[in-house]
Amino acid sequence: MKLFIGIALLSASIVFSTSCESPQTEKNPETEIINSLMPESYTGDVVPEYNLMERMEYWDVPAVSFAVIDNMEIIYSGAFGVKKIGDTIPINSSTLFQAASVSKPVTATGAMTFIEQGLLNPESDINNYTGEWQLSYDKFEGPVTMHQLLSHSGGLNVGGFTGYWSEDNLPELTDILNGTPPANSPGVKIVHEPGKKFMYSGGGYQVIQQIMQNTSGMSFYDVMKEKVFNPAGMKNSYYAPLDSAQKLNAVYGHTEAGAIPEYGPIHIESAAGGLWTTPGDLGLMLIDMMRAYQGQKSKILNTESIHKMMTPGFWNFGYGYRVQGEGKDLRFSHGGATIGWHSNFIAFPERGQAVVVMTNGTNGWVLWPEIERAVAKYLNWPILKPKHIAAVELSEKQYNEYQGLYDMHGVKASISESNNLFTFKGAGLEWHFIPVAPDTLELLDLEGQIIFKRDKNDNISGINLWVGEPEWSPYRAWDFIKSE
């Protein structure tokens, strides 16, 4: 994937666009951010800083678009790379990306307008609003409420969706809710007592879509245009499947095998993961929310509604947003990931600052944190600072026995070592680790570790690899068996 970086470097003035500098600083966001990407951890005396386009090439991410907000304004909008590997068409700040689960906080914002207008009671049984489709309470006492659906505490299943491909028959919303063909996901049901713990549920957000459509009598896209997109000025936001005109302005997702055909996967599950948008559009929504949070004039929700949304519950989730910190350090955020796509945003409402990053590659989930660390440095945030790690020396036996081939249900990986730096390769990933204790390697590229497992004869039998995903995420940890 070396081609796209050459195009980006030769066409830099076309490939990215910027707006004015921050009114609060004479620093240049363009040069300071794109040349200051940083890893999660580092050794040595100096924090390494990288150039964005070099890191795009390093991580095989063909396109990146991001927006930086300061003082309630988008001060920088950058778009880098090409729409599809093998093509020469550069992207711009209006190019569409799949948002994946970033769709959920956008949906929650739209749902909150129904609550603010008195159309929905967040503490009432959702079956009062779902129409012909009803959630079964066979094994658990109800009710499940809108409050619980929005905050992922309703005890509902279906954490995520795999999406569909161009040759597939696409299901209707009732097919998705019932788990009937052509839906490829289980039916939505209660699997844990409601209101007792955090259970991330894309299925729950599809129920929210049913509620919003049934209550309004409108399509989900039309509801979101009326409630969120139009008031915020979001002119480049749509839901899958894209039409032919929208596809002309969209990038392709990419895996290690190359571009994903036909702008897939197609997430017909609009509320949970079907949004196509831009960092600039998302930034406009975040600005309006931050204005409301501060009590300023806003267009989508009032101050009381925003503060209700940003009240953290289980696992620090409010309504659709994870909420952390307090005072000027209070921030709300959400990420999104599907095959070939990764995105994330963070907003500090008291500071009037935010960043939105969208990528179209398997390793985008490693690249977007590096970009956010550069933004955090530029805006002087108290978070996302790289941490220093001290390496330890291992015995020759340990160096040798850690290296080799590993397997996880057919997924092949290898671990090698050079100059006390271990490299893990597998599933399209290449990560770097240093030893910090016997049988423990610390990941430098993002938060995570490799813990070596031993058998009864004290030989290495496998590894547990964990990364800084949420505790409830199925992608947080993997167990490999040593095969050679």
pLDDT, tens digit, 9 for 90 and up, residues 100-138: 999 999 999 999 999 999 999 999 999 999 999 999 998
Tell me: the pLDDT tens digits for 52-74? 999 999 999 999 999 999 999 99
**Contact criterion met (CB below 8 Å) for 115 and 98:** no
**Contact criterion met (CB below 8 Å) for 179 and 157:** no
Does residue 270 sit in the same domain as residue 374? yes
Last residue of a domain, one of 316, 347, 379: 379
Does residue 436 sit in the same domain as residue 346? no
Q: Please state the φ and ψ torsions of residue 436, each to the nearest 5 degrees.
A: -120, -10
What per-residue confidence (pLDDT) applies to 476? 84
Does residue 402 sit in the same domain as residue 372? no
Average pLDDT score over residue span 364-381: 97
Any idea which of 1-15, 267-281, 334-348 has the lowest mean pLDDT? 1-15
Does residue 437 sit in the same domain as residue 363? no
Does residue 160 sit in the same domain as residue 249? yes
| 29 part of a folded domain | no
Average pLDDT score over residue span 419-426: 95
Name residue, tokens 């990053």. 357
Tell me: the pLDDT tens digits for 239-258? 999 999 999 999 999 998 99
Confidence of residue 475 (pLDDT cuts 50, 70, 90): confident
What per-residue confidence (pLDDT) applies to 469? 76
**Widest CA span in the chain:** 69
389-423 CB burial, b ≥16 within 10 A, e <16: beeeebeeebeebbbeebebeeeebebebeeeebe
The letter for the amino acid at 42 is Y
Does residue 236 sit in the same domain as residue 346? yes
Average pLDDT score over residue span 322-344: 97
Does residue 445 sit in the same domain as residue 324? no
User: What is the share, in percent, of the chain residues with pLDDT greater than 90?
Assistant: 89
CATH number, domain of 177, equals 3.40.710.10
Q: Please state the φ and ψ torsions of residue 309, each to the nearest 5 degrees.
A: -60, -35
> What is the domain count for the chain?
2
Last residue of a domain, one of 328, 348, 379: 379
Confidence of residue 2 (pLDDT cuts 50, 70, 90): very low
What per-residue confidence (pLDDT) applies to 15? 36
Confidence of residue 473 (pLDDT cuts 50, 70, 90): confident
Q: Residue 122: give the domain boundaries.
A: 98-379
Last residue of a domain, one of 379, 405, 426: 379
**Contact criterion met (CB below 8 Å) for 227 and 119:** no
Does residue 232 sit in the same domain as residue 345? yes
What per-residue confidence (pLDDT) applies to 4? 42
Does residue 281 sit in the same domain as residue 419? no
Is 18's pLDDT higher than 50?
no
In a 10 Å sphere around its CB, with 0-12 CB exposed, 13-18 middle and 19+ buried, how is residue 170 labelled?
middle
What per-residue confidence (pLDDT) applies to 8? 41
| 76 part of a folded domain | no
CATH number, domain of 463, equals 2.40.128
Does residue 183 sit in the same domain as residue 275? yes
Does residue 440 sit in the same domain as residue 353? no
Does residue 440 sit in the same domain as residue 355? no
| 26 part of a folded domain | no
Q: How far apart are CA 53 and CA 163, in angstroms?
A: 30
| 431 part of a folded domain | yes
| 54 part of a folded domain | no
pTM for the model stands at 0.92
Confidence of residue 454 (pLDDT cuts 50, 70, 90): very high
Helix 103-116 / helix 279-293 crossing angle, nearest 10 deg: 40
In whole numbers, what is the pLDDT of the chain averaged over residues? 93
| 307 part of a folded domain | yes
